[in-house]
Amino acid sequence: MKHPYYTMNQLMHEHYGKKIRKICIDGGFTCPNRDGTCGTGGCTFCGARGAGEQLDPTKTIREQAEAVLKNAPADSAWIVYFQNFTNTYAAPEILRERYDAALFDERVKVLDIGTRPDCITEEIADLLAKYAEKYEVWTELGLQTASDKTAKAINRGYDLNCFERAVQMLKTRGLPVIVHIIIGLPDETPDDLRHTVSVLNRCHIDGIKIHSLFIMKDTKLAEQYEAGAFTPISMQTYIDRTIDVLTHISPDTVIHRVTGNCLREQLLAPDWIPQRDLIITTIDRKMAANGWYQGCFYQPEMFPVEQGISTKGAET
């Protein structure tokens, strides 16, 4: 079944005429929300590895990439994804050294950097723009929600204005921005989710990763769940809210994913998280049955640039 939304695979076929695969990298970074710069403990849902729990931190960056590329076909194409923690949280010369360590093979076409808005500066944006002279460069920002109230509750460590400034710095350099959001955050309502979507439309983001909130063992959120202070949403509610995002997001936004995943041995709740294929199939079928498609309820006039940052003149 064809997805009723614009997928990352579709984008890559348009660019390269084939599927492009991803190499996930542990770049050896930490996070300013863990080392005391802006907070400690990280976001309440974040595990000890800051995502990328499947990665081997004992291997060098080059070794991690080589392990994948050594048996890859000569005509294959790859994304190098610096995944866990905050991969712009260092001086530019350190960033350059670590990025270069993964970019030794001509089959790598995309440099994909997972980071936080409060770790994007003009100098770092300039560095990423320099890499964009040879590679596609994607910057992934973990927004999760546009609600500053929810952001405080999950200990995110920065406000919405910080996010908008980071997007502006990247977009004015022609750098694509991919944003992570989470559906099912504590006390978030459908209106809060609509507000997040409106902010993303206003900022003209290039891609979105939609994650289901899962509770990992040994996190602050796990403590709240076990104390009865938080109840996860059902799979059906997640599907309905994901469809609401998809039908209201700009049709030009690339949908990189529509659900999250977690290693089974680290998952506390909800128990439907591993049913990734069922979630995606149900979303696709429900949208098709109702004649819905990405952006079918998108109304750009509802989101004038004057309400937020301006990206006039930016390359998109």
Instruction: Go through the domains of the chain in sequence order and give each one's CATH number.
Output: 8-307 (3.20.20.70)
Q: Is 53 exposed, middle or buried (0-12, 13-18, 19+ CB in 10 A)?
A: middle
The pLDDT assigned to 23 comes to 96
Q: Could you tell me the pTM of the whole model?
A: 0.92
Sign of CA dihedral 102, 68, 61, 24: positive
The pLDDT assigned to 52 comes to 66
What digits encode the pLDDT tens for the residues 150-174?
Answer: 999 999 999 999 999 999 999 999 9
Instruction: Give the three-class secondary structure for 265.
Output: helix
C-alpha to C-alpha distance for 109 and 284, rounded to whole angstroms: 29
Instruction: Give the three-class secondary structure for 110.
Output: strand
CA distance between the termini of the chain:
29
What are the average pLDDT values for consecutive 10-residue runs of the chain, which has 316 residues?
A: 89 90 94 88 80 77 96 95 95 98 97 97 98 98 97 95 98 98 96 96 97 94 96 97 98 96 91 96 97 94 42 32
Residue 296: closest CA among 237, 243, 256, 254? 243
